[in-house]
Chains A and B, each alone.
Chain A
Amino acid sequence: AQSVTQLDSHVSVSEGTPVLLRCNYSSSYSPSLFWYVQHPNKGLQLLLKYTSAATLVKGINGFEAEFKKSETSFHLTKPSAHMSDAAEYFCVVSSYQDTGFQKLVFGTGTRLLVSP
């Protein structure tokens, strides 16, 4: 079965410093991977997705992630944090069902705190 592990439940950074949110995945086939962001009291918004094209994926708001098959990782990075980046981030892997339906499996989330 497919799964994701987000290695940090909370990450704190200062504004202007780099962001690294870590995600490892487990998949029996070449997966699709996503990062979603959830701002307080809001729904989830797609940041970026990996679909077996380029291993370095660029997303919205300056975020990017690199798919590393050898390390089964899909870490999310941003060179310089902004106060508006404070939110919860979810790493997600796709999981095919016997019916052909593709289900999303969510990590438990990483809360990013940004201080001035």
Chain B
Amino acid sequence: NAGVTQTPKFRVLKTGQSMTLLCAQDMNHEYMYWYRQDPGMGLRLIHYSVGEGTTAKGEVPDGYNVSRLKKQNFLLGLESAAPSQTSVYFCASSYSEEFTYSYEQYFGPGTRLTVT
């Protein structure tokens, strides 16, 4: 049971290049998320998915696209990278817990992206 895995772990891009970050989970979770972490700002939600084939915008979605073609995978794409997208990106997943007020998110190890 690997939990949540992310590839790649590190990447350096030039401004304007594109790339896709892959997140995979083996816990059969319905919900998946992409966050970015910047110094002094905690984690901010980029996009999320509540099930296969669905995606929705979080609080900082501009410049990113996502897809959830399979339940276990959630892809984050940068079509034209900008220096402002230099960050550490975390993927997470969770069960959907209807009628409760709490659920735990399980995080991947992160991808450190630098855009020059």
A44 touches B90 (CB 8 A): yes
7 A-B contacts (beta carbon < 8 Å) = A9-B40, A34-B104, A36-B107, A43-B109, A49-B104, A106-B42, A109-B42
* Distance, CA A52 to CA B100, complexed state (A): 10
> A94 contacts the other chain (Cβ, under 8 Å)?
yes
| Sample of 11 further A-B pairs with CB below 8 A, known A31-B101, A41-B110, A43-B110 | A30-B101, A32-B101, A34-B104, A43-B108, A51-B101, A94-B101, A102-B101, A106-B42, A108-B40, A108-B41, A108-B42
- What number of residue pairs across chains A and B have CB atoms under 8 A from each other? 58
Q: Is B24 an interface residue (CB 8 A)?
A: no
- The B contact surface, by secondary structure, is loop
Question: Interface code A26-62, partner B: CB below 8 Å = 1, 0 otherwise?
Answer: 0000111010100001111110011110000000000
The range of chain B's interface size is: 20 to 34
Q: Does A67 contact B (CB under 8 A)?
A: no
State how many angstroms separate the Cβ of B30 from the closest Cβ of chain A: 11
Closest CB of chain A to B108's CB: distance in Å?
5
Do A104 and B101 form a contact, CB below 8 Å, given A43-B4, A43-B90, A43-B110? no
B107 near A107: Cβ-Cβ < 8 Å: no
Interface residues of A (CB under 8 A from B): 9, 30-32, 34, 36, 41-46, 49-52, 90, 94, 99, 101-104, 106-109
Contact partners of B45 in chain A: CB under 8 A: 103-104
In the complex, whether B74 has a CB less than 8 A from a CB of chain A is no
How far is B105's CA from A90's CA once the two chains are assembled, in angstroms? 13
A114 vs B44: C-alpha distance when bound (angstroms): 27
- Please give the distance in Å from B74's CB to the nearest CB on chain A: 15
List the A side residues contacting B109 at CB < 8 Å: 41-43
B58 at the A/B interface (Cβ < 8 Å)?
Answer: yes
The 3 A-B pairs at the shortest CB distance, nearest first, are namely A106-B42, A32-B102, A43-B107
**Bound CA–CA A7/B43 (angstroms):** 17
Enumerate chain A residues within 8 angstroms of B108, measured Cβ to Cβ.
Answer: 43
Q: In the complex, what's the smallest C-beta–C-beta distance from B52 to chain A, in angstroms?
A: 16
**Taking the complex as formed, is B82 at the interface, i.e. its CB lies under 8 A from any CB of chain A?**
no
Set of chain B residues within 8 Å of A32, measured between Cβ atoms:
101-102
